[in-house]
Structure formats: C-alpha cells, structure tokens
C-alpha cells in the first residue's frame, strides 16, 4: 500500500497517471499488417490502442503491464468501408419491399437495422455510407444509437430520405392515390423551391450525405431503368445547396444522360453507373468523380417472386453493367466499393471484393476501393489505413489477401474502436 506521507506528491500523481493510462490501453499483436497505400506487408504487427485510436504501431518498447491480445499468424487490414448500403432495408426476401412502406413504420426499419448493421460489422465493414431509407430517418436514429454505444454496428454516414421527383424511382409508387403521398420533408421534390426545402430538411435532421435519384431504376415501377428524372438545373441546385451545408451528394444513376447530368452538376459519386460512355468517363476523370459500381448484384439471382417489371429491367441492364465496369477499370477512374446491401443479404457485402477482382480489378485495388478510396470519397482522414492517430478499426484474416481476395469473405477478428466485436 502506498503511503502519501512517505512519497512526494509529484511521484504519486505520476504513478496514478501511469497505471490509469496502462489500464486504458490495449495491444493487438499479429504476424503482419497490410499498408494499403503501398501494398506492402509490414511485420510484425503490434498495434497499441488508446481511447479508440491507434496510439502506436510496432513501438520500440512495450510496457510490461499492458495486456496483449495475440491474434496469431494472421494479417491485419483496416476495417472495410461500404459506400452504398441500405442498413435498414430488406429487398431480398421476396416481394416484402413492395408493401413495407404501408405495413411498417420507421421504428420497424430502425429495428431491422440493428440486426443488419451487426451483420455487416461482423463481416468486416466498420464504416458504411447508407444510401437511403424509408421515411422517418430510421438510418439517422440507427447511427445515433450506434455512436452512443447502445447497440453494436458500423459507423454510419446516413442519407436519410432519397431526393426524388414525384413518381420517380425513389418515390413510393404503386399504391392508390392518397396513400403514401410524400413531399419535400420526405425527399420528394420538384423544381428549385421544393428541392431547397428537401435538402435543408435533411440537413436539419442529421444526415451525413445527400442521395439523389438522377434516373429511374430497377426496383420501382416503370419500363425504362435509365430514364433521366431530374433536369440539369435541378441537379445543379441539389449539389449547390448540399455543398452549402457541408454535405456531399451521391447520385443513383443508370442511364447515360442522367449520369452525365449528375457528373456535370458536381456530385461526389455515381452509384451503379450502369450505362457509362467514353464521354462520361472523361468528364468523371476530369472532375475526380467516384464510381461506385455495386457489381456483385449482377451475380445475385433475383428472388422467385420478384415483380416482372424488376426482372425485365434487371435483364436489360446486365450487359451494360459489365461493359461499364471494364471501361471504368481501363480508364482508371476513381472507384469505391459499394454493395447495395439490403438489395442482397447484408452479410454478403463481403462478396463485392471477389466480384470486382474476377472482372479484372487487382486484389490491392479492390482493398483500396474499400479503404483509402472510400475514406477519400467520404472526405475523412481518420480511417482507411493502419496509421498512428487513426481510428482503431481493423480486421484480421487467416491468409494473404493479395494472393487470394476471397480470404476477406471470412474475417477471423473484427476490431472497432479498439473493441473486439468478433473473434474472441
């Protein structure tokens, strides 16, 4: 027992601080880690974590009082980031999604997100950009619950309500007049005045990104999935107003005209980008626009009771999706990983890596698309690499992912903010 009467006060304070800091620190040890910027492995991997951040990597000395979590002969990588997910939605269980807007509430969708978010975190996605939810901001509520530590899930950048024209792809359609008739507060906005209201209402309620539906789509009624839905002037207004609020814009866009209009408006990323052209790619490269291909969806069979209009549009777009991905890869435009989880099972977000690699992307490029590229798209510098001062979000895998990308489909450990959320 330490007696204050026999110890200088400065020494007592130093010892208290030392033992307190030691108790707050965590150490993780593994065979090596991947520097995702250079593609080089660094061995060994000893990561010291304090207050959820990486305090040191491979320090010359390690305090003997620190408890070390030994992850064995494994490789560490930064936590993955999915730039296009729908954490609160379920589009893959038959035709449930066609009636969910009138059968369920925002509370239901937020509760779905508790399960789906945990599913994504456990397969290695420590950050997700949520690409839109049904009305009521269930994704924002989910983000806040995760941030407060009340539930387990990935760090979220929610888009809240989609910005869409009346009757467009991201409106709720197919019901009788008077049922789910939405307006600017729910993201359905026509013309400059309504668009301003819609974006401002989103910003007021805590979204971290604005999602605009620049064209028609697959999972909505109608026969042309690529039809442009917002004019150039309207898209310009969306980007300009979002920028004033410090929010980037992600644009759902399948058809060439709508993609080009969104790129010229200054969106941060094109989602899906099914019908790219050399002219579009040239414009994207000039502006630094990101392409988020969600290419694994091509490999996912639609559920048997999917409405026929969705099946027909999906079949129409498939060959364009394949050629657009190859074109983008050859042109070396910015690519960030996005899965559209929610349209497929959330835990299958992990399959996007292989889907890109088997179509010609290198293993390192695929990893970079979910780490440093994703961080750049989000506009953050606190994640995406294993570096001192960054968030202690990382995963451990059993083999070399640069030799076999599919090892990323079965991560052994997931650490978020220095806490082990899968593995022990």
In the chain, domain spans? 4-78+395-422, 80-378
Q: What percent of the chain has pLDDT over 90?
A: 78
Report whether the peptide linkage leading into residue 388 is cis, meaning its omega lies within 30 degrees of zero. Answer: no
Report how far residue 7's alpha carbon sits from residue 232's, in angstroms, rounded to the nearest whole number.
74
DSSP-assigned letter for residue 238: H
Report how far residue 127's alpha carbon sits from residue 51's, in angstroms, rounded to the nearest whole number.
18
Closest CA to 123 of 297, 295, 350: 350
**What is the average pLDDT score of the chain?**
91
Mean pLDDT on 248-253: 97
**Range scoring the smallest mean pLDDT among 216-220, 258-262, 292-296, 385-389:** 216-220
Q: Which CATH class is domain 80-378?
A: alpha beta
Q: What is the DSSP string of 309-346?
A: HHHHHHHHHHHHHHHHHHHHHHHT--B-----BTTB-G
Catalytic (active site) residue 340: yes
Mean pLDDT on 408-413: 98
Catalytic (active site) residue 204: no
Classified as helix, coil or strand, 168 is: coil
Task: Determine which one of 82, 340, 348, 393 is catalytic.
Answer: 340
For residue 19, pLDDT beyond 70: no
Report how far residue 88's alpha carbon sits from residue 283's, in angstroms, rounded to the nearest whole number.
33
Classified as helix, coil or strand, 187 is: coil
Spatial neighbors of 38 by CB under 8 A, at least 6 apart, are none
Same CATH topology for 4-78+395-422 and 80-378: the answer is no
Reported as type and span, the H/E element at residue 151 is none
Task: Determine which one of 208, 211, 248, 416 is catalytic.
Answer: 211
Report how far residue 228's alpha carbon sits from residue 274's, in angstroms, rounded to the nearest whole number.
13
Residue 369 main-chain phi, psi, to 5 deg: -65, -25
Report how far residue 265's alpha carbon sits from residue 412's, in angstroms, rounded to the nearest whole number.
42
Exposure of 148 in the CB half-sphere (CA atoms within 13 A): 8
- Architecture of the domain whose range is 4-78+395-422: Roll (2.30)
Q: Looking at residue 22, what is its pLDDT?
A: 55
Structure confidence by residue, pLDDT tens digits, 123-138:
999 999 999 999 999 9
β-pair partners for 85: 130, 341
Report how far residue 182's alpha carbon sits from residue 136's, in angstroms, rounded to the nearest whole number.
12
**Residues 368, 320 contacting (CB under 8 angstroms):** no
Mean pLDDT on 183-212: 97
Which of 13 and 251 is assigned the larger pLDDT?
Answer: 251
For residue 211, pLDDT beyond 90: yes
Structure confidence by residue, pLDDT tens digits, 262-307:
999 999 999 999 999 999 999 999 999 999 999 999 998 887 777 7
Closest CA to 93 of 281, 325, 344: 344
DSSP-assigned letter for residue 79: P
β-pair partners for 75: 32, 397
Structure confidence by residue, pLDDT tens digits, 299-341:
988 877 777 877 887 888 889 999 999 999 999 999 999 999 9
Q: Looking at residue 94, what is its pLDDT?
A: 60
């Amino acid at each position: 027992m330490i007696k204050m009467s026999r110890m200088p006060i400065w020494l007592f304070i130093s010892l208290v601080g030392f033992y307190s800091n030691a108790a707050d620190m965590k150490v993780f040890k593994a065979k090596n880690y991947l520097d995702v910027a250079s593609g080089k492995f660094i061995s060994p991997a000893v990561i010291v974590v304090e207050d959820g951040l990486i305090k040191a990597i491979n320090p010359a000395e390690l305090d003997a009082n620190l408890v070390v979590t030994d992850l064995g002969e494994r490789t560490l990588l930064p936590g993955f980031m999915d730039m296009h997910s729908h954490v609160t939605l379920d589009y893959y269980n038959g035709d449930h999604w066609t009636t969910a807007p009138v059968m369920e509430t925002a509370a239901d969708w937020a509760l779905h997100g508790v399960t789906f978010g945990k599913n994504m975190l456990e397969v290695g996605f420590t950050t997700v950009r949520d690409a839109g939810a049904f009305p009521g901001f269930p994704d924002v509520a989910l983000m806040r619950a995760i941030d407060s530590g009340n539930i387990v899930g990935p760090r979220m950048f929610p888009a809240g309500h989609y910005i869409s024209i009346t009757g467009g792809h991201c409106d709720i359609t197919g019901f009788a007049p008077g049922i789910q008739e939405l307006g600017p507060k729910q993201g359905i906005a026509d013309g400059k005045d309504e668009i301003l209201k819609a974006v401002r209402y989103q910003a007021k309620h805590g979204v971290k990104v604005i999602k605009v539906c620049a064209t028609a789509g697959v999972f909505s009624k109608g026969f042309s999935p690529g039809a442009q839905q917002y004019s150039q002037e309207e898209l310009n207004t969306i980007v300009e107003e979002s920028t004033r609020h410090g929010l980037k814009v992600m644009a759902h866009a399948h058809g060439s005209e709508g993609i080009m209009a969104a790129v010229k408006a200054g969106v941060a990323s094109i989602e899906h980008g099914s019908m790219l052209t050399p002219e579009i790619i040239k414009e994207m490269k000039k502006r630094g626009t990101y392409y988020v291909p969600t290419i694994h969806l091509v490999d996912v069979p639609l559920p048997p009771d999917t409405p026929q209009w969705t099946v027909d549009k999906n079949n129409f777009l498939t060959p364009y999706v394949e050629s657009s991905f190859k074109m983008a890869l050859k042109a070396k435009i910015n690519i960030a990983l996005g899965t559209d989880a929610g349209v497929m099972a959330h835990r299958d977000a992990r399959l996007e890596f292989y889907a890109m690699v088997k179509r010609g992307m290198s293993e390192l490029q695929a990893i970079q698309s979910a780490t440093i590229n994703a961080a750049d798209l989000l506009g953050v510098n606190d994640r995406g690499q294993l570096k001192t001062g960054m968030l202690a979000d990382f995963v451990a895998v059993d083999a070399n992912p640069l030799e076999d990308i599919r090892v990323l489909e079965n991560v052994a450990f997931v650490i978020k903010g220095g806490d082990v959320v899968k593995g022990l």
